[in-house]
Amino acid sequence: MKPDQTKPSAATRIERDTMGELAVPAAAYYGVQTARAIENFPISPLRMPRSVIRAMGMIKRAAATVNHSLGLLEKKPTEAIKQAATEVVEGKWDAEFPVDIFQTGSGTSTNMNTNEVISNRATELLGGARGSKLVHPNDHVNLGQSSNDVIPTAIHIAASETMQQQLLPALTRLRKALDRKAKEFDKVVKIGRTHLQDATPVRLGQEFGGYARQIELGIQRVKRAQAALSEVALGGTAVGTGLNCHPKFSAKVMAIVSKETGCTFKEAKNHFEAQSAQDSLVEASGVLRTIAVSLMKIANDIRWLGSGPRCGLGEINLPETQPGSSIMPGKVNPVIAESVTMVCAQVIGNDVTVTVGGQAANFELIVMMPVMAYNLLQSIELLATASSNFAAKCIEGIKANEERCKSLIEESLAMCTALAPEIGYEAAAKLAKEAYKSGKTVRQVAKDQKVLPEKRLTELLDPWRMTEPGGPVGSAGG
Protein backbone atom coordinates (compact mmCIF):
# COMPACT_ATOMS: atom_id res chain seq x y z
CA MET A 1 0.00 0.00 0.00
CA LYS A 2 1.41 3.41 -1.00
CA PRO A 3 2.02 5.72 2.01
CA ASP A 4 -0.09 8.86 2.38
CA GLN A 5 2.05 11.67 0.92
CA THR A 6 0.09 14.40 2.72
CA LYS A 7 0.82 13.27 6.29
CA PRO A 8 4.03 14.10 8.11
CA SER A 9 6.27 11.51 9.76
CA ALA A 10 9.48 11.66 11.73
CA ALA A 11 11.37 11.67 8.44
CA THR A 12 9.18 14.13 6.51
CA ARG A 13 7.66 17.57 6.64
CA ILE A 14 4.54 18.79 4.83
CA GLU A 15 4.87 21.59 2.30
CA ARG A 16 2.20 23.29 0.24
CA ASP A 17 2.22 24.69 -3.28
CA THR A 18 -0.54 25.75 -5.66
CA MET A 19 -1.49 22.09 -6.21
CA GLY A 20 -1.86 21.23 -2.53
CA GLU A 21 0.19 19.53 0.17
CA LEU A 22 2.93 16.94 -0.15
CA ALA A 23 5.38 15.26 2.22
CA VAL A 24 9.02 16.26 1.69
CA PRO A 25 12.01 14.60 3.39
CA ALA A 26 12.55 16.52 6.62
CA ALA A 27 16.28 16.89 6.03
CA ALA A 28 15.95 18.04 2.42
CA TYR A 29 16.75 21.57 1.33
CA TYR A 30 14.64 21.09 -1.78
CA GLY A 31 10.90 21.58 -1.40
CA VAL A 32 7.48 20.53 -2.60
CA GLN A 33 7.88 21.30 -6.32
CA THR A 34 11.11 19.32 -6.46
CA ALA A 35 9.39 16.46 -4.65
CA ARG A 36 6.65 16.47 -7.28
CA ALA A 37 9.27 16.39 -10.04
CA ILE A 38 10.95 13.39 -8.42
CA GLU A 39 7.62 11.57 -8.48
CA ASN A 40 6.72 12.69 -11.98
CA PHE A 41 9.99 11.89 -13.74
CA PRO A 42 11.41 8.52 -12.63
CA ILE A 43 12.96 8.13 -16.07
CA SER A 44 16.73 7.76 -15.86
CA PRO A 45 19.82 8.16 -13.68
CA LEU A 46 20.82 11.26 -15.65
CA ARG A 47 20.92 14.55 -13.76
CA MET A 48 21.60 18.16 -14.70
CA PRO A 49 25.35 18.72 -15.19
CA ARG A 50 27.24 20.26 -12.28
CA SER A 51 28.25 23.19 -14.51
CA VAL A 52 24.60 24.11 -15.05
CA ILE A 53 23.84 23.93 -11.31
CA ARG A 54 26.87 26.14 -10.71
CA ALA A 55 25.57 28.62 -13.28
CA MET A 56 22.13 28.58 -11.67
CA GLY A 57 23.71 29.51 -8.35
CA MET A 58 25.64 32.32 -9.97
CA ILE A 59 22.49 33.74 -11.55
CA LYS A 60 20.53 33.61 -8.29
CA ARG A 61 23.39 35.21 -6.35
CA ALA A 62 23.80 38.03 -8.86
CA ALA A 63 20.03 38.46 -9.08
CA ALA A 64 19.79 38.99 -5.33
CA THR A 65 22.59 41.56 -5.44
CA VAL A 66 20.94 43.45 -8.31
CA ASN A 67 17.41 43.28 -6.88
CA HIS A 68 18.72 44.72 -3.62
CA SER A 69 20.55 47.52 -5.47
CA LEU A 70 17.31 48.31 -7.32
CA GLY A 71 15.42 48.57 -4.00
CA LEU A 72 13.37 45.42 -4.68
CA LEU A 73 14.81 43.13 -2.00
CA GLU A 74 15.65 43.89 1.63
CA LYS A 75 19.15 43.47 2.97
CA LYS A 76 18.65 40.44 5.26
CA PRO A 77 17.09 38.10 2.67
CA THR A 78 19.57 39.41 0.11
CA GLU A 79 22.58 38.42 2.20
CA ALA A 80 21.07 35.07 3.11
CA ILE A 81 20.25 34.29 -0.55
CA LYS A 82 23.76 35.29 -1.62
CA GLN A 83 25.38 32.97 0.95
CA ALA A 84 23.06 30.09 0.07
CA ALA A 85 23.63 30.63 -3.65
CA THR A 86 27.38 30.71 -3.09
CA GLU A 87 27.15 27.31 -1.45
CA VAL A 88 25.27 26.06 -4.52
CA VAL A 89 27.97 27.50 -6.79
CA GLU A 90 30.64 25.73 -4.74
CA GLY A 91 28.84 22.38 -4.98
CA LYS A 92 27.97 22.04 -1.32
CA TRP A 93 24.37 21.03 -2.06
CA ASP A 94 24.78 18.97 -5.22
CA ALA A 95 22.93 16.06 -3.63
CA GLU A 96 19.89 18.35 -3.32
CA PHE A 97 19.43 18.40 -7.11
CA PRO A 98 17.81 15.01 -7.81
CA VAL A 99 15.56 15.95 -10.75
CA ASP A 100 15.87 13.82 -13.88
CA ILE A 101 17.10 15.34 -17.16
CA PHE A 102 13.92 14.04 -18.79
CA GLN A 103 11.56 16.49 -17.13
CA THR A 104 9.55 19.52 -18.11
CA GLY A 105 10.98 20.77 -21.40
CA SER A 106 11.60 24.31 -20.18
CA GLY A 107 13.62 23.10 -17.19
CA THR A 108 11.10 24.58 -14.76
CA SER A 109 11.67 21.73 -12.32
CA THR A 110 15.39 22.49 -12.19
CA ASN A 111 14.76 26.21 -11.72
CA MET A 112 12.34 25.54 -8.87
CA ASN A 113 14.72 22.97 -7.42
CA THR A 114 17.36 25.72 -7.31
CA ASN A 115 14.93 28.27 -5.89
CA GLU A 116 13.82 25.87 -3.15
CA VAL A 117 17.33 24.82 -2.11
CA ILE A 118 18.46 28.44 -1.87
CA SER A 119 15.19 29.47 -0.19
CA ASN A 120 15.40 26.82 2.51
CA ARG A 121 19.10 27.32 3.13
CA ALA A 122 18.62 31.11 3.31
CA THR A 123 15.65 30.62 5.63
CA GLU A 124 17.83 28.44 7.86
CA LEU A 125 20.58 31.06 7.87
CA LEU A 126 18.03 33.60 9.13
CA GLY A 127 16.93 31.27 11.93
CA GLY A 128 13.80 29.86 10.27
CA ALA A 129 12.75 26.26 9.72
CA ARG A 130 13.12 24.50 6.37
CA GLY A 131 9.85 24.68 4.53
CA SER A 132 8.66 27.80 6.35
CA LYS A 133 9.50 30.03 3.36
CA LEU A 134 10.83 32.85 5.49
CA VAL A 135 12.80 33.48 2.33
CA HIS A 136 10.35 32.61 -0.42
CA PRO A 137 11.52 30.58 -3.46
CA ASN A 138 9.38 32.53 -5.92
CA ASP A 139 8.93 35.96 -4.36
CA HIS A 140 12.54 36.39 -3.27
CA VAL A 141 14.93 33.92 -4.97
CA ASN A 142 13.15 34.00 -8.34
CA LEU A 143 12.42 37.74 -8.23
CA GLY A 144 12.44 39.25 -11.74
CA GLN A 145 12.95 35.85 -13.32
CA SER A 146 11.19 32.98 -15.05
CA SER A 147 12.33 29.43 -15.74
CA ASN A 148 11.95 30.35 -19.39
CA ASP A 149 14.77 32.89 -19.27
CA VAL A 150 16.87 31.53 -16.39
CA ILE A 151 17.38 27.99 -17.73
CA PRO A 152 18.65 28.97 -21.21
CA THR A 153 20.84 31.62 -19.60
CA ALA A 154 22.34 29.05 -17.22
CA ILE A 155 23.06 26.68 -20.12
CA HIS A 156 24.82 29.44 -22.05
CA ILE A 157 26.91 30.33 -19.01
CA ALA A 158 27.77 26.69 -18.27
CA ALA A 159 28.71 25.94 -21.87
CA SER A 160 30.85 29.02 -22.37
CA GLU A 161 32.61 28.70 -19.03
CA THR A 162 33.32 24.99 -19.57
CA MET A 163 34.68 25.77 -23.02
CA GLN A 164 36.90 28.45 -21.51
CA GLN A 165 38.18 26.44 -18.55
CA GLN A 166 38.35 22.92 -20.00
CA LEU A 167 38.00 22.63 -23.76
CA LEU A 168 40.17 25.50 -24.96
CA PRO A 169 43.14 24.57 -22.70
CA ALA A 170 42.87 20.92 -23.78
CA LEU A 171 42.73 21.78 -27.48
CA THR A 172 45.62 24.21 -27.02
CA ARG A 173 47.74 21.48 -25.45
CA LEU A 174 46.88 19.10 -28.28
CA ARG A 175 47.66 21.72 -30.94
CA LYS A 176 51.03 22.46 -29.35
CA ALA A 177 51.86 18.75 -29.14
CA LEU A 178 51.01 18.26 -32.82
CA ASP A 179 52.92 21.40 -33.79
CA ARG A 180 56.02 20.19 -31.93
CA LYS A 181 55.81 16.87 -33.77
CA ALA A 182 55.38 18.71 -37.06
CA LYS A 183 58.69 20.48 -36.43
CA GLU A 184 60.41 17.34 -35.08
CA PHE A 185 59.37 15.27 -38.10
CA ASP A 186 59.96 17.95 -40.74
CA LYS A 187 63.00 16.19 -42.24
CA VAL A 188 61.34 12.75 -42.37
CA VAL A 189 60.22 12.11 -45.94
CA LYS A 190 57.59 9.41 -46.46
CA ILE A 191 55.10 8.28 -49.02
CA GLY A 192 51.85 10.20 -49.32
CA ARG A 193 48.56 8.40 -49.77
CA THR A 194 45.32 9.30 -51.52
CA HIS A 195 42.38 6.90 -51.76
CA LEU A 196 44.50 4.70 -49.41
CA GLN A 197 46.83 4.17 -52.39
CA ASP A 198 50.45 5.23 -52.80
CA ALA A 199 50.86 8.85 -53.88
CA THR A 200 53.77 11.25 -54.19
CA PRO A 201 56.05 11.82 -51.18
CA VAL A 202 55.28 14.14 -48.30
CA ARG A 203 57.14 14.92 -45.13
CA LEU A 204 55.84 13.39 -41.92
CA GLY A 205 56.06 16.88 -40.46
CA GLN A 206 53.73 18.17 -43.15
CA GLU A 207 51.12 15.58 -42.17
CA PHE A 208 51.38 16.54 -38.50
CA GLY A 209 51.30 20.22 -39.46
CA GLY A 210 47.95 19.55 -41.12
CA TYR A 211 46.67 17.94 -37.92
CA ALA A 212 47.88 20.91 -35.86
CA ARG A 213 46.07 23.29 -38.20
CA GLN A 214 42.84 21.30 -37.85
CA ILE A 215 42.96 21.77 -34.09
CA GLU A 216 43.94 25.44 -34.44
CA LEU A 217 40.84 25.99 -36.55
CA GLY A 218 38.82 24.06 -33.96
CA ILE A 219 40.00 26.52 -31.31
CA GLN A 220 38.85 29.40 -33.49
CA ARG A 221 35.46 27.72 -33.94
CA VAL A 222 35.04 27.32 -30.16
CA LYS A 223 35.70 31.03 -29.68
CA ARG A 224 33.08 31.86 -32.29
CA ALA A 225 30.65 29.55 -30.50
CA GLN A 226 31.33 31.43 -27.27
CA ALA A 227 30.46 34.66 -29.07
CA ALA A 228 27.15 33.13 -30.15
CA LEU A 229 26.48 31.99 -26.58
CA SER A 230 27.21 35.43 -25.17
CA GLU A 231 23.66 36.69 -25.81
CA VAL A 232 21.39 35.39 -23.04
CA ALA A 233 17.66 35.24 -22.46
CA LEU A 234 17.63 36.63 -18.91
CA GLY A 235 15.29 39.62 -18.70
CA GLY A 236 12.63 38.22 -21.02
CA THR A 237 10.81 36.36 -18.18
CA ALA A 238 7.90 34.19 -19.34
CA VAL A 239 7.51 34.87 -23.06
CA GLY A 240 10.13 37.49 -23.92
CA THR A 241 8.21 40.63 -22.97
CA GLY A 242 10.11 41.20 -19.71
CA LEU A 243 6.94 41.25 -17.63
CA ASN A 244 7.63 41.60 -13.86
CA CYS A 245 11.32 42.34 -14.47
CA HIS A 246 13.14 45.62 -13.89
CA PRO A 247 14.49 46.91 -17.23
CA LYS A 248 18.03 47.19 -15.84
CA PHE A 249 17.98 43.76 -14.19
CA SER A 250 19.46 41.60 -16.96
CA ALA A 251 22.33 43.89 -17.92
CA LYS A 252 23.38 44.29 -14.28
CA VAL A 253 23.18 40.55 -13.54
CA MET A 254 25.16 39.66 -16.65
CA ALA A 255 27.86 42.20 -15.82
CA ILE A 256 28.39 40.42 -12.49
CA VAL A 257 28.38 36.94 -14.06
CA SER A 258 30.76 38.04 -16.83
CA LYS A 259 33.24 39.32 -14.26
CA GLU A 260 33.00 36.13 -12.20
CA THR A 261 33.42 33.73 -15.11
CA GLY A 262 35.84 35.65 -17.30
CA CYS A 263 33.44 35.10 -20.21
CA THR A 264 31.34 37.76 -21.90
CA PHE A 265 27.57 37.67 -21.48
CA LYS A 266 25.04 40.30 -22.40
CA GLU A 267 21.28 40.68 -22.63
CA ALA A 268 19.86 39.36 -25.89
CA LYS A 269 19.08 41.94 -28.56
CA ASN A 270 15.74 40.25 -29.08
CA HIS A 271 14.21 38.27 -26.23
CA PHE A 272 11.67 36.56 -28.46
CA GLU A 273 14.49 34.99 -30.44
CA ALA A 274 16.44 34.15 -27.30
CA GLN A 275 13.57 32.26 -25.66
CA SER A 276 11.56 30.86 -28.54
CA ALA A 277 14.63 29.24 -30.13
CA GLN A 278 18.12 28.10 -29.21
CA ASP A 279 19.97 28.36 -32.49
CA SER A 280 23.10 29.37 -30.57
CA LEU A 281 23.13 26.02 -28.74
CA VAL A 282 22.65 24.21 -32.03
CA GLU A 283 25.51 26.24 -33.48
CA ALA A 284 27.75 25.44 -30.52
CA SER A 285 26.93 21.75 -30.79
CA GLY A 286 27.75 21.90 -34.49
CA VAL A 287 31.16 23.31 -33.63
CA LEU A 288 31.74 20.44 -31.21
CA ARG A 289 30.68 17.97 -33.91
CA THR A 290 33.18 19.56 -36.32
CA ILE A 291 35.97 19.21 -33.75
CA ALA A 292 34.95 15.58 -33.23
CA VAL A 293 35.22 14.98 -36.97
CA SER A 294 38.72 16.54 -36.94
CA LEU A 295 39.80 14.39 -34.02
CA MET A 296 38.35 11.28 -35.65
CA LYS A 297 40.47 11.90 -38.76
CA ILE A 298 43.62 12.55 -36.74
CA ALA A 299 43.14 9.55 -34.44
CA ASN A 300 42.45 7.21 -37.33
CA ASP A 301 45.49 8.47 -39.24
CA ILE A 302 47.61 7.89 -36.14
CA ARG A 303 46.27 4.32 -35.90
CA TRP A 304 47.07 3.63 -39.57
CA LEU A 305 50.53 5.26 -39.48
CA GLY A 306 51.43 3.19 -36.42
CA SER A 307 49.94 -0.07 -37.69
CA GLY A 308 52.15 -3.14 -37.57
CA PRO A 309 54.72 -3.17 -36.14
CA ARG A 310 56.00 -5.40 -38.98
CA CYS A 311 53.07 -6.09 -41.29
CA GLY A 312 51.40 -2.69 -41.36
CA LEU A 313 52.53 0.80 -42.38
CA GLY A 314 54.72 1.22 -39.32
CA GLU A 315 55.86 4.74 -40.21
CA ILE A 316 55.51 5.93 -36.62
CA ASN A 317 55.91 4.19 -33.27
CA LEU A 318 53.21 4.90 -30.70
CA PRO A 319 53.79 4.94 -26.95
CA GLU A 320 53.09 1.54 -25.41
CA THR A 321 50.41 2.07 -22.76
CA GLN A 322 49.06 -1.40 -21.97
CA PRO A 323 49.06 -5.02 -23.20
CA GLY A 324 46.81 -5.31 -26.24
CA SER A 325 45.58 -8.85 -26.18
CA SER A 326 44.49 -11.52 -23.72
CA ILE A 327 45.66 -14.26 -26.10
CA MET A 328 48.48 -12.80 -28.24
CA PRO A 329 51.56 -12.15 -26.09
CA GLY A 330 53.44 -8.94 -26.80
CA LYS A 331 50.69 -7.30 -28.79
CA VAL A 332 50.24 -3.57 -28.18
CA ASN A 333 47.25 -1.67 -29.55
CA PRO A 334 46.63 2.05 -30.30
CA VAL A 335 44.19 2.26 -27.39
CA ILE A 336 44.45 6.00 -26.76
CA ALA A 337 43.56 6.80 -30.35
CA GLU A 338 40.71 4.28 -30.16
CA SER A 339 39.32 5.99 -27.06
CA VAL A 340 39.35 9.28 -28.96
CA THR A 341 37.35 7.80 -31.84
CA MET A 342 34.69 6.56 -29.41
CA VAL A 343 34.43 10.00 -27.82
CA CYS A 344 34.00 11.47 -31.30
CA ALA A 345 31.18 9.03 -32.05
CA GLN A 346 29.44 10.04 -28.81
CA VAL A 347 29.80 13.76 -29.57
CA ILE A 348 28.42 13.31 -33.08
CA GLY A 349 25.44 11.44 -31.61
CA ASN A 350 24.95 14.13 -28.98
CA ASP A 351 24.81 16.71 -31.75
CA VAL A 352 21.84 14.91 -33.29
CA THR A 353 19.98 15.20 -29.98
CA VAL A 354 20.82 18.89 -29.64
CA THR A 355 19.70 19.48 -33.23
CA VAL A 356 16.37 17.73 -32.64
CA GLY A 357 16.04 19.71 -29.40
CA GLY A 358 16.53 22.92 -31.34
CA GLN A 359 13.58 21.96 -33.52
CA ALA A 360 11.34 21.68 -30.45
CA ALA A 361 10.70 25.41 -30.51
CA ASN A 362 7.02 26.25 -30.68
CA PHE A 363 5.84 29.85 -30.60
CA GLU A 364 7.41 31.57 -27.56
CA LEU A 365 9.26 28.66 -25.95
CA ILE A 366 11.65 25.81 -26.72
CA VAL A 367 10.79 22.67 -24.79
CA MET A 368 13.81 20.35 -24.83
CA MET A 369 16.20 22.51 -22.82
CA PRO A 370 17.35 19.95 -20.21
CA VAL A 371 18.34 17.26 -22.71
CA MET A 372 20.03 19.87 -24.90
CA ALA A 373 22.01 21.02 -21.87
CA TYR A 374 23.03 17.50 -20.90
CA ASN A 375 24.26 16.54 -24.36
CA LEU A 376 26.01 19.83 -25.07
CA LEU A 377 27.86 19.85 -21.76
CA GLN A 378 28.78 16.19 -22.07
CA SER A 379 30.25 16.85 -25.51
CA ILE A 380 32.34 19.77 -24.22
CA GLU A 381 33.68 17.77 -21.30
CA LEU A 382 34.36 14.61 -23.35
CA LEU A 383 36.24 16.52 -26.04
CA ALA A 384 38.26 18.32 -23.37
CA THR A 385 39.33 15.20 -21.48
CA ALA A 386 39.91 13.14 -24.63
CA SER A 387 42.02 15.87 -26.28
CA SER A 388 44.17 16.32 -23.21
CA ASN A 389 44.64 12.57 -22.81
CA PHE A 390 45.39 12.16 -26.53
CA ALA A 391 48.15 14.76 -26.26
CA ALA A 392 49.64 13.41 -23.03
CA LYS A 393 49.49 9.65 -23.63
CA CYS A 394 49.86 9.42 -27.38
CA ILE A 395 50.93 12.42 -29.46
CA GLU A 396 53.71 13.66 -27.17
CA GLY A 397 55.37 10.22 -27.17
CA ILE A 398 55.21 9.40 -30.90
CA LYS A 399 58.51 8.56 -32.62
CA ALA A 400 59.16 8.48 -36.35
CA ASN A 401 60.32 5.22 -37.95
CA GLU A 402 62.62 6.89 -40.48
CA GLU A 403 64.02 3.74 -42.06
CA ARG A 404 60.54 2.41 -42.74
CA CYS A 405 59.52 5.74 -44.28
CA LYS A 406 62.55 5.69 -46.62
CA SER A 407 62.04 2.13 -47.77
CA LEU A 408 58.36 2.64 -48.58
CA ILE A 409 59.11 5.73 -50.67
CA GLU A 410 61.51 3.91 -52.94
CA GLU A 411 59.02 1.09 -53.47
CA SER A 412 56.18 3.43 -54.46
CA LEU A 413 55.01 3.41 -58.07
CA ALA A 414 53.82 6.99 -57.61
CA MET A 415 57.45 8.09 -57.93
CA CYS A 416 56.85 8.07 -61.68
CA THR A 417 54.71 11.22 -61.25
CA ALA A 418 57.88 13.33 -61.07
CA LEU A 419 58.91 12.02 -64.50
CA ALA A 420 55.63 12.79 -66.27
CA PRO A 421 56.33 16.46 -67.09
CA GLU A 422 59.45 15.43 -69.04
CA ILE A 423 58.61 12.02 -70.53
CA GLY A 424 54.82 12.44 -70.73
CA TYR A 425 51.93 10.96 -68.79
CA GLU A 426 51.52 7.86 -70.98
CA ALA A 427 55.20 6.96 -70.87
CA ALA A 428 55.33 7.46 -67.09
CA ALA A 429 52.26 5.25 -66.62
CA LYS A 430 53.82 2.54 -68.79
CA LEU A 431 56.98 2.74 -66.73
CA ALA A 432 55.00 2.37 -63.49
CA LYS A 433 53.18 -0.70 -64.81
CA GLU A 434 56.47 -2.26 -65.83
CA ALA A 435 57.89 -1.61 -62.37
CA TYR A 436 54.87 -3.24 -60.76
CA LYS A 437 54.99 -6.25 -63.08
CA SER A 438 58.72 -6.80 -62.63
CA GLY A 439 58.89 -6.10 -58.93
CA LYS A 440 61.52 -3.43 -59.49
CA THR A 441 61.39 0.17 -58.34
CA VAL A 442 60.48 3.01 -60.68
CA ARG A 443 64.07 4.24 -60.40
CA GLN A 444 65.48 0.86 -61.47
CA VAL A 445 63.19 0.54 -64.48
CA ALA A 446 63.83 4.14 -65.54
CA LYS A 447 67.60 3.50 -65.38
CA ASP A 448 67.29 0.25 -67.28
CA GLN A 449 65.26 1.91 -70.03
CA LYS A 450 67.47 5.02 -70.04
CA VAL A 451 64.39 7.26 -70.24
CA LEU A 452 66.49 10.23 -69.10
CA PRO A 453 70.15 10.95 -68.37
CA GLU A 454 71.08 9.48 -64.99
CA LYS A 455 71.88 12.87 -63.47
CA ARG A 456 68.48 14.25 -64.48
CA LEU A 457 66.77 11.09 -63.27
CA THR A 458 68.42 11.49 -59.88
CA GLU A 459 67.27 15.10 -59.69
CA LEU A 460 63.66 14.30 -60.60
CA LEU A 461 63.39 11.28 -58.31
CA ASP A 462 64.70 13.10 -55.24
CA PRO A 463 61.93 12.48 -52.65
CA TRP A 464 62.65 15.71 -50.77
CA ARG A 465 62.24 17.78 -53.92
CA MET A 466 58.82 16.21 -54.41
CA THR A 467 57.61 17.54 -51.04
CA GLU A 468 58.08 21.17 -52.14
CA PRO A 469 56.23 23.27 -54.71
CA GLY A 470 57.91 23.84 -58.07
CA GLY A 471 59.83 21.60 -60.42
CA PRO A 472 58.75 20.74 -63.95
CA VAL A 473 55.13 21.63 -64.63
CA GLY A 474 52.75 18.84 -65.56
CA SER A 475 49.82 16.78 -64.43
CA ALA A 476 50.01 16.13 -60.70
CA GLY A 477 47.70 13.12 -60.59
CA GLY A 478 44.97 12.44 -58.07
Catalytic site positions: 195, 325
Strands 316-317 and 197-203 turn out to be unpaired
For residues 413 and 428, what is the distance between their CA atoms, to the nearest angstrom? 10
Cβ atoms of residues 118 and 60 within 8 Å: yes
- The residues, ordered by sequence, that sit 6+ positions from 75 with a Cβ below 8 Å of its Cβ are 68
Confirm if 345 and 288 have CB atoms less than 8 A apart. Answer: no
**Cβ neighbours of residue 168 under 8 Å, at least 6 residues apart?**
219, 222, 223
